[in-house]
Structure 1
Amino acid sequence: MSTSSKQYFDILLVEDNPADVRLTIEALNDLKSEKRLFIAKDGEEAIDFVKGEGEFVGARRPDLILLDLNLPKKNGLEVLEELKSDPEYKRIPVVVLTTSGSERDIIATFNLHANSYIQKPVEYDNFLEAMDTLRIYWFKTSRLPPK
């Protein structure tokens, strides 16, 4: 099944900063993308959501995860390591979406098999452009693995 024929995509945004959550929601809404966006506010919630555990029993596995690195309880690197080391979840594409431009963070995320690394632009128009590029690549150009 081609991803372009899907009616919608399930995106898990893992972000603890309410302003960044709001900005991401606004950017994706402005783009009129065919998506259902779910929010996890820390690393433990992210793992529970993906695995359908805790308060997320019955949640659908996301098609794509947008993962911040600076998170409470479990940081983004710990989340990434746990997901990518589990054969059940390692095929879920994970895009690191963070303010950090540190080479150390970039190397660490790719060593843990992140699929992409995006440094969050500060300006809204640039953020919107980054989200549009992400949407086009992951949901129009690329083929996502089956769930």
Structure 2
Amino acid sequence: MVGAAFRPKPTIVAPAQAKVMVIEDNADSMDLALLLLRERVNVAYCNARASGEAFFNWLSSPQVQQNPSLGMLDLILLDIRIPRENGYMVLQKLHVLPDFKRTKIVAMSAYSSREDVERMRAAGFDGFVAKPVSVKTFPDYIVRILRGEAIWDIY
């Protein structure tokens, strides 16, 4: 069974040392998340890909293969509704990869009903941030997630 209960407890990471990947197909949402990660949270590294396929291609790219620590991410912000494979499918693939056992994987979605969020929790996500992301709360949520706190942003 795959789920949060079967994953090692994530380590606490200071934002200035954190490596974050955003998997998001909406350019505006992606740009806002990256801007906030860089300017308000001040993470050490952040990048984005528009789909799970693009993310896995990046993982096997020469850039990451030559510098494996680049692919050792502390946090993945994963949109639920992305092209080809949805966020749940990408999550399942990540859960079986040893390099991601300690990576926090947080869902980002406009689907924010209690039922939707409970489905995300049951699937094994480590948290949920509602979209559109809030300029006021998003930076604080990310810092808290990196400190090991589970955030379930339900309106």
TM over 0.5: yes
Q: Do structure 1's residue 29 and structure 2's residue 33 form an aligned pair? A: no
Counterpart of 2:153 in structure 1 is none
Amino acid at match of 2:148: S
Unaligned runs of 5+ in 1: none
Identity of aligned residues (%): 21
Contact 2:79 2:108 in 1 (8 A): yes
Counterpart of 2:143 in structure 1 is 136
Contact 1:48 1:56 in 2 (8 A): no
Relative to 1, partners in 2 of residues 1:2 and 1:85: Cα closer, same or farther, differing over 3 Å? Answer: closer
Counterpart of 1:111 in structure 2 is 122
Runs of 4+ in structure 1 deviating by more than 6 angstroms, as ranges, are: none
Aligned residues: 135
Relative to 1, partners in 2 of residues 1:78 and 1:131: Cα closer, same or farther, differing over 3 Å? Answer: same
State the 1:69 CA deviation: 0.5
What is the root-mean-square deviation in Å for CA atoms of aligned residues?
2.5
Rounded to whole Å, the distance in 1 between the matches of 2:77 and 2:111 is 14
Q: TM-score, normalised by structure 1?
A: 0.76
Instruction: State the structure with bigger RCO (CA 8 A, min sep 6), 1 or 2.
Output: 2
Rounded to whole Å, the distance in 1 between the matches of 2:125 and 2:12 is 22
Rounded to whole Å, the distance in 2 between the matches of 1:35 and 1:94 is 18
Unaligned runs of 5+ in 2: 1-10, 150-155
State the 1:16 CA deviation: 0.6
Q: 87-96 vs 38-47, which deviates more?
A: 87-96
Counterpart of 1:68 in structure 2 is 79
Counterpart of 1:95 in structure 2 is 106
